[in-house]
């Protein structure tokens, strides 16, 4: 056990880390282009924040939180999702008194005790965006557009955006009454958890993963059936904005998301091949007030980094580096000079530092994802010409040593 990671966790290194850093680079650049700033909140918070914000009847709170007492007997919980911590920071630092809306993103570790699955870990990492301080449907459209842009830049274009609206407080009350009425004659067929939820928070039953419960709710009413005029207009406006932006979507009345703070808009990006949700979010207009702040409209989303990275195609992954191999002492010296110039030109490069023969160097370059390989020996030093081999295609090109930096920069 000493030399094994705990179940549901993993080490990230090597080519996985290379892909991870490239994904982060795309995320950060995209958020910058949307004028969204990074925020970093503590990895643990007071448990009450999640009880009040996420909801006591959610699976996250009931089954998945890592909660413990610290040495002063205070109940502390490792962050099970990112939005509540951002909401707490918004209130604590009185950001509501500043120019609104505030636009934040984070890439942070998340902790949930659940069954590990594809792209799902007990410690995983989430990219999230939160826009706080707007009730307008344009804020919903903005977070969806940002998420759509990130997925496109990562090469994840074979996915479908699904939309729904849960309505506001009054709409939710009407819907809960309608759902309770539907469930009245079916209560004994629900799982014990859903039987308890039927009275306290029947909407959560729509999120149950139990096959029997899912079959029962197939013909249940949906939140769209009870939207008031204002919420219906808000949802219609969002669809108009997405149509204008050229973002396709499907309205799915059964999307509820797994957290209680959502109001009005909820959405998911679903991978068409696997059927997995790769990004999800919506509007949470009551959360800031629920955890002690002023009434504040807000919208956002979360995306699991591990799941996204597991779906990247080879073409979408980080390009490799330039490997400069060498033959003999003179070749080793020249290779060091070349990689120094390549690095100064902003390129990734390495050379042999283990005294291996050429065959072993080429094997190492292939195993470590080198995109191009150069071998320097006496002939190359004398002619000031090298052969650059593109590893993916096998194409070889003669280039002057002094022109290598320009050649690679133009190739990229």
- Residue 275 included in any domain: yes
Give CA separation, 144 vs 242, 248, 305, in Å.
9, 11, 17
Q: Please state the rounded mean pLDDT for residues 357-383.
A: 91
* Tens-digit pLDDT profile for residues 175-231: 888 888 888 888 888 888 888 888 778 887 887 878 888 888 888 889 999 999 999
Q: Which domain holds residue 326?
A: 319-411
Q: Are residues 252 and 281 both part of a single domain?
A: yes
Q: Kindly indicate the confidence band of residue 9, based on its pLDDT and cuts at 50, 70 and 90.
A: confident
Q: Are residues 160 and 37 both part of a single domain?
A: yes
User: Is the pLDDT reported for residue 259 higher than 80?
Assistant: no
Element (H, E) at 87: helix 83-92
Phi, psi (deg, nearest 5) at residue 344: -65, -25
- Residue 329 included in any domain: yes
The pLDDT > 70 percentage for the chain reads 96
At which of 314, 337, 362 does a domain end? 314
Q: Are residues 301 and 333 both part of a single domain?
A: no
Of 267, 392, 380, 255, the residue nearest 326 (C-alpha): 380
Q: Best-predicted range by mean pLDDT among 208-222, 293-307, 342-356, 366-380? A: 293-307
User: Is the pLDDT reported for residue 315 higher than 60?
Assistant: no
Q: Are residues 233 and 141 both part of a single domain?
A: yes
In angstroms, how far is CA 307 from the centroid of its own chain?
8
Residue 85's domain is classified under what CATH number?
A: 3.30.930.10
- Residue 107 included in any domain: yes
pLDDT value for 81: 92
Residue 330's domain is classified under what CATH number?
A: 3.40.50.800
- Residue 191 included in any domain: no
Q: Please state the rounded mean pLDDT for residues 150-174.
A: 92
- Residue 359 included in any domain: yes
User: What whole-number distance in Å separates Cα of residue 371 and Cα of residue 95?
Assistant: 47
What strands lie across the sheet with 263-271, from one edge to the other? 37-38, 102-111, 123-132, 298-304, 277-283, 263-271, 159-165, 250-251
pTM of this prediction?
Answer: 0.82
In angstroms, how far is CA 57 from the centroid of its own chain?
25
**Which 8-state DSSP code applies to residue 285?**
T
In contact, 252 and 162? CB cutoff 8 Å:
yes
- Residue 213 included in any domain: no
Q: Are residues 46 and 80 both part of a single domain?
A: yes
pLDDT value for 408: 84
Q: Are residues 268 and 373 both part of a single domain?
A: no
Element (H, E) at 28: helix 14-33
pLDDT value for 317: 56
At which of 314, 335, 351 does a domain end? 314
Q: Are residues 346 and 289 both part of a single domain?
A: no
Q: Are residues 350 and 293 both part of a single domain?
A: no
Q: Kindly indicate the confidence band of residue 6, based on its pLDDT and cuts at 50, 70 and 90.
A: confident
3-class state of residue 219 by DSSP? helix
Q: Are residues 272 and 307 both part of a single domain?
A: yes
Domain tally for the chain?
2
pLDDT value for 62: 76
Q: Best-predicted range by mean pLDDT among 72-86, 201-215, 320-334, 361-375? A: 72-86
Q: Are residues 250 and 395 both part of a single domain?
A: no
At which of 275, 296, 314 does a domain end? 314
* Tens-digit pLDDT profile for residues 21-49: 889 999 999 999 999 999 999 999 999 99
Both tokens of 276, joined, read: 């997995």
Q: Are residues 162 and 53 both part of a single domain?
A: yes
- Side-chain-side CA neighbours of 97 within 13 Å: the count stands at 4
Residue with the larger pLDDT of the pair 196 and 288: 288
Q: Kindly indicate the confidence band of residue 157, based on its pLDDT and cuts at 50, 70 and 90.
A: confident
Both tokens of 331, joined, read: 């070749």
**Between β-strands 385-390 and 372-376, what pairing exists: parallel, antiparallel or unpaired?**
antiparallel
Q: Which residues of 46-80 are buried (b: 16+ CB within 10 A; e: fewer)?
A: ebebbbbbbbebbbbbeebbeeeeeeeeeeebbbb
User: Is the pLDDT reported for residue 363 higher than 90?
Assistant: yes
User: Is the pLDDT reported for residue 318 higher than 70?
Assistant: no
The pLDDT > 90 percentage for the chain reads 57
By CB atoms closer than 10 A (0-12, 13-18, 19+), residue 131 is buried
Q: Please state the rounded mean pLDDT for residues 271-298.
A: 93
- Residue 219 included in any domain: no
H helices of 97-245, in order, are 137-153, 169-183, 192-200, 211-216, 229-244
User: What whole-number distance in Å separates Cα of residue 249 and Cα of residue 243?
Assistant: 9
Average pLDDT, the chain: 89
Q: Are residues 119 and 248 both part of a single domain?
A: yes
Q: Please state the rounded mean pLDDT for residues 132-138.
A: 95
Torsion of CA 182, 184, 190, 191, to 10 degrees: 120
pLDDT value for 103: 95
For the chain, first and last CA: distance in Å?
A: 45
- Residue 294 included in any domain: yes
Residues 6 or more apart whose Cβ sits within 8 Å of residue 218: none
């Amino acid at each position: 056990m000493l030399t094994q990671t705990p179940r549901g966790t993993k080490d990230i290194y090597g080519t996985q880390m290379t892909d991870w850093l490239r994904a982060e680079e795309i995320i950060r650049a995209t958020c910058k282009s949307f004028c969204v700033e990074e925020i970093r909140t503590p990895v643990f918070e007071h448990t009450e924040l999640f009880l009040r914000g996420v909801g006591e009847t959610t699976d996250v709170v009931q089954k998945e939180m890592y909660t413990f007492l610290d040495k002063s007997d205070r109940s502390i919980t490792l962050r099970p999702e990112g939005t509540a911590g951002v909401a707490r920071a918004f209130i604590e630092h009185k950001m509501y008194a500043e120019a609104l809306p505030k636009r934040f993103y984070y890439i942070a570790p998340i902790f949930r005790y659940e069954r590990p699955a594809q792209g799902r870990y007990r410690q995983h990492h989430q990219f999230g965006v939160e826009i706080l301080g707007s009730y307008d449907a344009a804020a919903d459209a903005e977070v969806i557009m940002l998420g759509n842009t990130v997925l496109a830049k990562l090469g994840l274009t074979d996915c479908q955006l699904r939309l729904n609206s849960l309505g506001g407080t009054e709409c939710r009350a009407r819907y809960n009454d309608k759902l309770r009425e539907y469930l009245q004659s079916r209560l004994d067929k629900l799982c014990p958890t859903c039987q308890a939820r039927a009275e306290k928070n029947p909407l959560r039953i729509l999120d149950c993963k139990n096959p029997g419960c899912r079959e029962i709710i197939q013909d249940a009413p949906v939140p769209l059936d009870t939207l008031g005029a204002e919420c219906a207009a808000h949802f219609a406006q969002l669809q108009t904005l997405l149509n204008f932006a050229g973002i396709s979507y499907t309205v799915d009345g059964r999307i509820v998301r797994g957290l209680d703070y959502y109001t009005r808009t909820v959405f998911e990006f679903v991978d068409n091949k696997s059927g997995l949700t790769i990004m999800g979010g919506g509007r949470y207009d009551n959360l800031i007030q629920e955890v002690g702040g002023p009434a504040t409209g807000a919208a956002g989303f979360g995306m699991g980094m591990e799941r996204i990275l597991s779906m990247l195609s080879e073409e979408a992954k980080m390009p490799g580096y330039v490997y400069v191999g060498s033959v003999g002492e003179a070749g080793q010296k020249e290779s060091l000079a070349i990689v120094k110039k390549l690095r100064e030109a902003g390129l990734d490069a390495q050379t042999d530092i283990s005294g291996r023969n050429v065959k072993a160097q080429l094997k190492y370059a292939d195993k470590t994802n080198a995109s191009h390989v150069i071998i320097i020996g006496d002939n190359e030093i004398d002619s000031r010409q090298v052969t650059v081999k593109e590893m993916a295609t096998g194409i070889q090109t003669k280039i002057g040593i002094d022109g290598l930096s320009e050649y690679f920069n133009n190739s990229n």
